[in-house]
Each structure stands twice: as structure tokens, then as C-alpha cells.
Amino acid sequence: MKPWNISIALLTLLMAIASPTIAEVPARSKPILTQRDGEDTRPIEPTSPREESTEVEPPPENEAETTEETEESAEDAEKEAEKAARRERLEILAEGDRLYQAGDIAGAEALYQQVKPPFSSEGNARGIASLPDATADPTQLSPKGGVYWREAQAGWEQKLETRIFVPLEFLVEEDPEFIPGHLLLAEAYTHYEQPEKAVEVLERATTFYPNNPELLRAKIEVLGNTEQWLEASIAARQFALLNPDHPDAEEFTRLADENFDKFRSHVRKQLAGNAIGNVLTGAFSVVLTGNPLGALSAVETLILLARGESAIGNSIANQAKENLELIEDEQVVNYIEDLGQKLAKLSGRDDFEYEFYVIKDKNLNAFALPGGKVFVNAGAILHTDSEAELAGLLTHELAHAVLSHGFQMVTHGNLLSNMFRHLPFGGTVANLLVLDYSRDMEVQADVLGTRLLTSAGYAADGLRNLMVELREQYGEGSSFLRFMSSHPLTQDRIDYLESLIENGGYNRFAYEGVERHQEIRQRVAELMKDELDEEELEDLDITLEEEEEAQEEGEESTESSQEEENVESEGETENDPTTPREIPQD
């Protein structure tokens, strides 16, 4: 059986299993009437010709058509009103940009505030869940928490497991802000040779208090003891990048480098054995799919792990450039490159060679590869209104690269991706296994991305406004898509970003960059004209140059035809003998 026959057979089997049993009952166009014993089945005649019919007559065709036309007219009017409001908003933002660049910051902010209303109170309330401030003072424990802590300390001194774990588990639930409780629980699990439990405790604690150095030191130590050096390195580097002004930032940068060196050394030692396993997996893929790239990339990726994330990013980027249709227009490429490099300089990772590419795809999307290789769909330019919104997307993707999220995904998902590559819906299964981890990454990227956006001088709500655009275009999506998405729900993202901006004191009323962005947006639409239909162009409120020329020619032609008709009409009127003449008066 050929490989594609296997896929068809599996898909058919899945569809058969998923089909509801009710579909087996044949549909009938009319209800079935059963005859009772002795019942007269002759048709019943009406009792009187004057009896009124209970059937509702359908409205006349012309009335229905008029109703539809009225509804369409109302929808068209609403769309035009929305477009007019959007154009007016962009004009005001553009005027604000001119004042901002001229140094009139107060005047610019006044215009920005005119078209950017405050965030909703509901969104702010639903944003970041508040926890009590972290503390190490046992006198601040609740009454129950105080009892649990004293009992756990007594149990630890006597090394009695039952008096250690039970009260500590209750303590971290009752008073999660008490940092020594998490630290002692993790230490106890490590002492009793349950390091995986210690990792779980500290992962949970750092989720509550991600910027607490004591928790993070303990987490890095436990990860190192369990030979999870890459995770330890990334955790340390993330703290240094997200807290550049912290007095311990330099220490965590050093820990990041030390643990990564251990990881790289370990990979080199284990490369031969791991490569054999991946070669077998790749060979399995070749047999089923006939694609030798699977086996090659599996071995290559393991070798590249020893070289680091920049090498991995270069390898994947080269493959992406070969397989994706990229926009090479100088004006568009320079715009994205200039904007991206401006933002990358603020990222704190000078060990990357940042590169930015535009994919000829009308959908709004972007992705970052390890080592600072960022790919942006042309649709991201088309569906954003300003440079600040596009910069918000770029800083978010840059944050993924800077925080080594792509590198983590490669190291955790490489073998899994190869295993599921040839199976129907395999990608879906693989994504489910990293779903929760990816959501944590998104929050981190939002935090660092917003900081980079603000540091570059752009309005801090660029990414938030883009999220609003996504919600308006696509809604919250189906329940399945919400469950499968590696990104938090769009409305939740909006609420979180609003709280992040307000609580962090970031400035929403800074440079937007409307005029230049609109010029590039128009240019991209011209380059994508074969991929965009009339409805899409109308929704984007973009008119192509050819259409403008055609409209102008049409208007000129209409005016010329009208003049000719008027001249002909006047001539006919003069020569028509039936036309009444004005009788001159004596």
C-alpha cells in the first residue's frame, strides 16, 4: 500500500468513528402516517368553501427583495461610517506624530489622547491576578500557616517525613507568599531523593513569584542536579533579561553561561547515541513519506544542539527561505529590516545576528526562530494601522528569540515532531504536549516585548491594539481552536496587556508612525494584488493604483458621455417638429 493510501485509510477510519449514529437513520421528506384499525383513510373534505385557511401566505417577492436591499443598504452605510471614523482617527494620529517628531510632546499627547480612550475598567479588573507580596517573615503568616510552619520545622529537625511534607503542603496552599515554605518543601523532596517533586514545587512557586531571586537560585540548583542544564541556563538568562536593573542580574547571567556550557558538553558526549535513535526515526519517516529531509534534519538538529541556538536558527532559516515565497521589494524589505534592527539593539542579546524577512502571505502572522531570525507575513503589514502596532508584533517575536523559547521548543519537541510528522493530525497531538509551556512563554514574551516597545519610543499599547484587531477580525474562535491555541485567549491577552501597561506605568501616548506605515501598506497591497480579492481590499480600505486610474478614467468618460448626450439632446430638440415652439409676442 502506498504512503498516501495509508493516510486516506486512517482518515476514513477516523471519520467513520466520529460520525454520529443518528446519521444512519434515512431522512424523509414527509412525516409517516400510520393507519389505526377501522380508521377511514379517505381525504377529509372542507366543511365550507368559506372556511379561512390557516396557512401564512409568503410576502410578495418584490417586498422580500425590498427588505433585503434595505438591510444590505444599512450594512453598507455602517461599513462606510466605520471606514470614515477609522480614516479620521488615523489622520489625528498622523498629526500627533508630526508634533511628536517636532518636539511638541504635550501637543502630540493631547491628540493621541483624543482618539485613544482609557482602557475599560472591566479589562483592568480581569487582568493580572494579584497575590500578596512575597515575604520571609513568619510573623506575617496566618494562624493556620503559623501552625503548619512550626510543625514542619520540628519534623525537619527530627527528620520525620510525616511531620514534614503534610504541613508544608498545606502551608504553601494557605500562604503561598511565604517563600521559606516553598524552599523547605523543595529541599525536603531533594533530601528524600525525589528531585522531580522538588522541580515541580519550585516551578509552581516561580510562577507565582517569577522575579524572586531566592526561588530562582533554588530552581536553577535543582535543575542542575537533575542534569537539566539547558532549562537552568534559560531560567537564569530570562531573569537577567527581564530584570536588567536588579543587583543580582550579573550573577544570573553568569549562571546562565555556566549551565549552558554544561549542557553543550553533555550533548557532545551523548551525541552518538542520540543520533542513532534519531536516524532510526528519520528512516521510519523516509519509508512512510518518501521524504529524505526528515532523516537529514533529525541528525543535523542534534549536531546543531551542541553548537547553540544561533546555529539552529541559521539552519532552519535557510530551509525556510528555500521553501517560502518571500517579498524582495527593496522598499518593503528595508522598512522591516530598519524597524527590526532598531528594536533588536535594545534586546540585550548581542550574541545573535538578527535577520528579518517578509513572507508573501496575506494572513496576519509572524514567527521567530532561535538566534534572532524573524519571519513576518505581509498580512501583518496589511492588517496593522501604524508602525507602533507592527513594532508590537516584532518585539513580541524578538522576545521569544531573546528568551530562547524557540531553542527550548526544538530541544523538547524535535524527536516528537519527527515521530508524528507522517501521521494524520500528528501536529495537533505534538502541540497538545507543549500547550501549557507555550502559554507561559507567551506571557514572558508579552512582558519583555512591551518593555522593548516602550524603550524604542513607541506607544506601549501597540501589541494590545493589534490583539484588538485580531479579536475584531476573527472573534474568540471556536471552542476547539481556543483549546488548541498555544496563545492565551485573545480577550485574556487584551486584559493582561492592559493591566501590564497600566501597572508598569508604560506610556500609551507616544509615537505611532502612521504615515510611513500607510505608504508601505499600500506598497504591499500592490505587490499582493493577485492574492487579494475585491472584498478583502474593501475590508482593508485599500484602493490599488490601477483601480484609481480606472475610476478616474471612468469618471472622465462618464462626464464626456454626459456632455455628448446633452449636445445631441439639444440638437434633436431644435430639429424635432413636434417640439412646441415659443410663439413670439407682438
Q: Which three cell numbers stand for residue 541?
A: 480600505
Pair 541, 525: CB distance under 8 Å = no
Which H/E stretch holds residue 9?
helix 3-18
Number of H helices, E strands in the chain: 25, 3
The pLDDT score that the predictor gives to residue 471 is 75
* 176-185: burial string, b at 16+ Cβ within 10 Å, e else: bbbbbbbbbb
- The closest alpha carbon to 301, from 412, 176, 140, 171, belongs to 412
Residue 399, CA atoms < 13 Å, CB-side half-sphere? 25
**AA letter at 178:** F
The pLDDT score that the predictor gives to residue 402 is 87
Angle 200-201-202 from CA coordinates, rounded to 5°: 95
Same domain, 238 and 316: no
In a domain, 197, yes or no: yes
CA 526 – CA 507 distance, rounded (Å): 34
Same domain, 315 and 208: no
Which of 252, 270, 290 terminates a domain? The answer is: 252
Same domain, 431 and 336: yes
pTM higher than 0.75, yes or no?
A: no
Same domain, 317 and 419: yes
Same domain, 469 and 327: yes
Hey, is 219 helix, strand or coil? Answer: helix
- The closest alpha carbon to 347, from 268, 242, 273, belongs to 242
The pLDDT score that the predictor gives to residue 460 is 94
Beta-carbon contacts of residue 451 (< 8 Å; ≥ 6 apart): 504, 506
Angle 302-321-425 from CA coordinates, rounded to 5°: 65
CA 59 – CA 312 distance, rounded (Å): 67
In a domain, 73, yes or no: no
Which of 222, 252, 282 terminates a domain? The answer is: 252
Same domain, 227 and 341: no
Pair 198, 189: CB distance under 8 Å = yes
The pLDDT score that the predictor gives to residue 444 is 83
- The domain of 459 spans 308-516
In a domain, 242, yes or no: yes
Is 81 buried (19+), middle (13-18) or exposed (0-12) by CB count in 10 A?
A: exposed
Q: Percent of the chain having pLDDT more than 90?
A: 37
In a domain, 126, yes or no: no
Which residues make beta-bridge pairs with 326? 359
The pLDDT score that the predictor gives to residue 563 is 63
Pair 310, 370: CB distance under 8 Å = yes
Which of 481, 516, 551 terminates a domain? The answer is: 516
* Domain count along the chain: 2
Pair 466, 513: CB distance under 8 Å = no
In a domain, 461, yes or no: yes
The pLDDT score that the predictor gives to residue 570 is 54
Same domain, 317 and 241: no
The pLDDT score that the predictor gives to residue 346 is 84
CATH code: domain of residue 156: 1.25.40.10
Q: Which three cell numbers stand for residue 290?
A: 518518501
Same domain, 239 and 339: no
Hey, is 134 helix, strand or coil? Answer: coil
> Which value, to the nearest 10 degrees, does the dihedral of the CA atoms of residues 272, 275, 277, 279 take?
-130
The residue written with cell numbers 545576528 in the block is: 353
Same domain, 371 and 480: yes
The pLDDT score that the predictor gives to residue 569 is 54
> Which parts of the chain have pLDDT scores under 50?
1-53, 121-129, 272, 274-276, 279-297, 414-437, 478-486, 573, 575-586
In a domain, 463, yes or no: yes
Angle 536-542-544 from CA coordinates, rounded to 5°: 100
In a domain, 433, yes or no: yes
In a domain, 495, yes or no: yes
Hey, is 324 helix, strand or coil? Answer: coil
The pLDDT score that the predictor gives to residue 561 is 61
